[in-house]
Structures are given as C-alpha cells and as structure tokens.
Amino acid sequence: MPTSTNNKPLESWIWDAACSIRGAKDAPKYKDYILPLIFTKRLCDVFDDELNRIAAEVGSRKKAFQLARADHKLVRFYLPLVPDDPEQPVWTVIRKLSDRIGEGVTTHMRAIARANPLLQGIIDRVDFNATTHGQRDLDDDRLSNLIEAISTKRLGLDDVEADIIGKSYEYLIRKFAEGGGQSAGEFYTPPEVGTIMSRVLQPEPGMEIYDPTCGSGGLLIKCEIAMEEAAASPSPPSGKLAGEGVGVRGQSKPFAPLKLYGQEYIAETWAMANMNMIIHDMEGQIEIGDTFKNPKFRDRRGKLRTFDRVVANPMWNQDWFTEADYDNDELDRFPAGAGFPGKSSADWGWVQHIHASMNPTGRAAVVLDTGAASRGSGNAGTNKEKTVRQWFVDHDLIESVLYLPENLFYNTTAPGIVLFLNKAKPKERQGKVLLVNASQVFQKGDPKNFIPDAGIQRIANTIIRWKQEEKLSRIVDHAELKKNDYNISPSRYIHTSDAETYRPIAEIVGELRVIEAEAKETDQALDRILKQLGIGA
C-alpha cells in the first residue's frame, strides 16, 4: 500500500515537519504540536473521502457538504470546515490561514471537538497560540512552516496505513531519544518487542485486552494487528472465528474486533492513545489517572475488572510507592505471601496488579527490568522482591520468561525481560517455566540495536511452541528454580556461548542497588527504635 501520493517515505515526511519548528521548543514538545495536526490532517482527508463518496451519489460536493451538515451520522466525524470552493480539500481551511495563525488553528480544532464529543479533550488540548512570559511558544512563522510541511502528504483512507499516529509518535520519540533530549528518558517500547508479546498471547476475535500503563496505546494496537493477521490466515491458531466486525476502513470483516482498554497517567500521552484508537477505528476505552493508586476499570461491585489478556510496559523500578500503598489496597491486588516488594522497585507490584486484572483463563505479557528476575536470589536472609517472585513461581503462574538483547530501549542500554503469565497453564506445562535467552538475536543499529523480522518470528515461535533449543531456550522445572533461590533470569540457565560465564553487569548493578536500599531501610528502622528507647542521638 502506498504511504503517500508523492511517494515520500513516512519517516522523512514526519522529520521534515519536526525540523520546520526546530528551535521553537525543546525536542520532546515537538510532538505536542505535530501529532494533533497530523491527526487533524487525517480527519480532514478522510472527511474528503467521505464527501466524495456522497457526492458521487448526489451529484456534487456542495450538496455533499449540505447533507453532512444536516446529518452528521453520514460521516465518521463531521468537520465544520468548509472551504470557499467546495471542490477544494477541507484541509485548505487551515492551510490558507495567513493572519493570527495560532489563534485560527486553535479555534478550528476546538470547533471540531465541539462537533464531535468523542474528540473533546483529545484534539483540543493544545493551544497553538500559547505564550510564556509574553513570548509565543510557537510563533506563526514556524507554525505556518509546520502546516505546510504536513500539507505535502495526503492522509486519506487509501493513502496511508491507519497506524499513522502510532508510527509518527514512535518515530518522533525515537528521533528525540537519538538526539539525547529530555525524551530519551521517556519510555518507548521497541515495536518488535510489542510484536513478540502480541503474537505469543494469541488474542482471539472479540477478546478484551487491557494495558494498565498504556502510553500511546502501541501494545494494545499490536494485539489487534496480531489478532487480525491470525484470523485472516488460512488456518488461524484459534481454529475458530467470531461474528462480523468493522475494520479501520468501515469494511466488513469475518471476525469481531478486540475490545481494547487502557489507562494512562500523563494527559498528553492519554490524548495520543485516544488518537491512535480513533484513527484505527478500534473498539475500547482509554482512561486517565494513576492506575497503581486508582485503577479506573471496575465491575459493578466496585471490584477490579478482569480481562482475557493483559499487556504492559510499566516504568521500571519505580520507587515512589510506599508499603502503605500496598497495605491500604481495597481491591485484593496484593495477596498474603506476596504484597510489598520493597521501596526501591515496584516492578513486582505492577505484576501483582496485572495478575489481579486477569480473568480465570487470562494470560499476560509484561516488560520488566532484568533485575526483577533475579534480585535477592542468593542473598543471605530474606528479600521482599524475591518473596513476591517466589509466590508467583509457587502458584505456577509464570509460563515463560524472555531475556531481550541489550541496547533496544532508548532510555537504557539494559536488556529487559518479558514475563509471560498464564492463569490456566496446560497440564503438560505445569510445574515448569520456559526460559528464553534471546540476548544474541539482534542486529546492530544506529544508535540502537533491533530484532529483525526473522528473529521476531523465531522468538515468538519458540515461546508459543514451548520448545527447547540449544543456546536459546530451556524448560526448567520448579525444583531447579527453587534450588537457585527463585532466580528466573534466563541468563542464569542458558549460556549463549562457551565463553559466557558471567552474568550481565546490569543485573549485578541492579541487585547491588536493591541491597543498598534495603540496608538503608534497615538502618533507618533501627535508628527509630533506638530513639524510642532513648539510646543514641
């Protein structure tokens, strides 16, 4: 499928748009202007396609405009933008702004939101006329350049893939991270990791999928893509199809779409997730708020809602949740024997939330720091994080653990792991865990490594089929995990070369940090006790 009428690669077009306002704001803020405009351009071009369809039936675009204005249900989204010449593209109303451009763009976007309640709070979040200390954040000259750069590509139904917002967002985050800007610390899930997760989970038509830390919605959309690819294949893995559904272009498909649910804490990113969902015409709901402290998806009794599949890439090693956050939970997310994993990392706190969000046959895939698989194992005495990990092993909830290659992520060179959970493991897999060390399955890239298509397929097939392969995967029973003090890191059990005898430095450093944090907690507790006894300063 062509990506543009002028055949310019999507990435080059997006970067041209970013460069048109370079210097106007810090790089991480570019997307706050670019993506809403790209989204609006997509809405305009799709509206044009719909008007042309109506015009073919009624004789003219002028009549088509009149009909759409009289009955908004004739179109997916009604845009109250009418060019002087009805034969001109709707986008020209924005493109031809020549005076007070920032004010004009903001006014048009707010008018579009008023006409479409689904877009309120999403398309009208950005003030293109905003000032800081009397200085325009984005002056009209640069905004005009941005509009002109975006105008060079048509984004209609037959021009680009529906993933235009997702691809734009991912590309901009990656480019800004390459430049070492502030967004280098913004979490970005490499697309190949999301593809592996979604393929392994094998979502089936009509399933409900949930991401408690959904970001821009990329992992949810990867699940929809994986389901559609499998359902459209001659022999889909599920062996069954559901009822009729409506695809991203309004075309009937012989399977029901997934129902996608997500929650995101950052308002701007929440808006991006909604844009992504809307532009894909996918079914679901994205909520805003702190999932850990106030998960929005509840059932009628106020209990935590459960789902068929859960995907997540929470921020690694969050340290701002306290033991009280776990103890005061009223949703039964943190069971006795697990619970608080320690102040220094909430990784296993998120895993517990994800487990509680799975229905009785639910499965999940979550990206974690490598240290989450091994911290505390082999240490003298007890370790809170290891205790939680042990609870998951003993309750036979861990189906597989994937060790990723290094230098995939943009805010760290650490490899990361993907933890796969299953509440209904097949009998032949019970009491065992498949460990996959994919540390060598990558290609060098600039500035980051990547997993090629063949590697994605190899990894996904290994996990789906639960097969052992020398220097790649091993099936390990619980007795061996217990013998190794519940270390579930694949790098502990699978050496990818004869010379590899040491664990990755990132794992060791992560464990040392936890030990130091626990020692500090112990010292502080001891100081409090001594003060209460009147001993010491």
Any idea where the domains of the chain sit in the sequence? 10-178, 304-537
**Where residue 413 falls among pLDDT bands split at 50, 70, 90?**
confident
Higher-confidence position of 306 and 33 = 306
The residue behind tokens 């073919």 is: 56
d(CA 530, CA 521): 14
Does the pLDDT of residue 229 top 50, yes or no? yes
CA distances from 375 to 257, 342, 398, 478 (A): 40, 11, 17, 18
- State the sign of the Cα–Cα–Cα–Cα dihedral 215, 312, 193, 387: positive
Tens of pLDDT along 174-187? 676 565 544 433 45
Of the candidate CATH numbers 3.60.150.10, 3.40.50.410, 3.40.50.150, 3.40.50.1370, the domain formed by 304-537 belongs to 3.40.50.150
Does the pLDDT of residue 75 top 70, yes or no? yes
Does the pLDDT of residue 263 top 60, yes or no? yes
What's the predicted TM-score (pTM) here? 0.84
Average pLDDT over residues 459-471: 96
**Where residue 218 falls among pLDDT bands split at 50, 70, 90?**
confident
Average pLDDT over residues 83-97: 97
Task: Please indicate whether the domains covering 10-178 and 304-537 agree at the CATH topology level.
Answer: no
Assigned fold of 10-178: Ferritin (1.20.1260)
List the one residue out of 490, 363, 464, 340 whose CA is nearest residue 423. 363
* 527 membership: H or E segment, kind and range: helix 505-532
> Hey, how many other C-beta atoms are within 10 angstroms of the C-beta on 202?
18
The least confident of 37-41, 232-236, 350-354, 408-412 is: 232-236
Does the pLDDT of residue 427 top 60, yes or no? yes
